[in-house]
């Protein structure tokens, strides 16, 4: 049902059949808990801007929820929240030095952030 509603949303933005240029298998394999704009762009063979518009329209229509994740220096995800304001001020990161792991506290504001989407349940 959600996938059908998502395709209906896509069809409003992509002229013709939105799946003709896209990869149906790639769309079906999207992780419903972590949908990145790049995955939508690649699966539908569309521009990044168009993929962002599709995802944001899905948010407005209640199909997706938007989240922000904080990336550690090693590109692992430290934490995520519905908005940047809801992120914690600091995160903990395990850093390896000379074969030993050290718990390092990093300010969230200094780390990169990535937007992702989740199917609304």
The domain locations on the chain are: 2-65, 67-112
Higher pLDDT, 102 or 10: 102
Q: What is the pLDDT of residue 38?
A: 95
Per-residue 3-state assignment (H helix, E strand, C coil) for the chain? CHHHHHHHHHHHHCCCCCCCCCCHHHHHCCCCCCECHHHHHHHHCCCHHHHHHHHHHHHHCCCEEEEEEEECCCCCEEEEECCHHHCCCEEEEEEEECCEEEEEEEEHHHCCEEEEEEECC
Tens digit of each residue's pLDDT (9 = 90 or more) over 71-118:
999 999 999 999 999 999 999 999 988 999 999 999 999 999 999 999
């Amino acid at each position: 049902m959600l996938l059908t509603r998502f395709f209906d949303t896509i069809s409003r933005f992509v002229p013709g059949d939105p799946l003709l240029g896209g990869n149906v298998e790639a769309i079906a394999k999207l992780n419903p808990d972590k949908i990145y704009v790049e995955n939508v762009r690649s699966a539908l063979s569309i521009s990044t801007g168009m993929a962002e518009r599709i995802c944001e329209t899905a948010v407005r229509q209640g199909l997706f929820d938007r989240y922000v994740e904080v990336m550690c220096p090693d590109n692992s995800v430290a934490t995520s929240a519905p908005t940047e304001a809801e992120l914690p001020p600091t995160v903990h990161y395990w850093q390896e030095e000379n074969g030993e792991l050290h718990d390092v506290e990093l300010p969230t504001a200094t780390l990169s952030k990535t937007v992702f989407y989740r199917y609304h349940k």
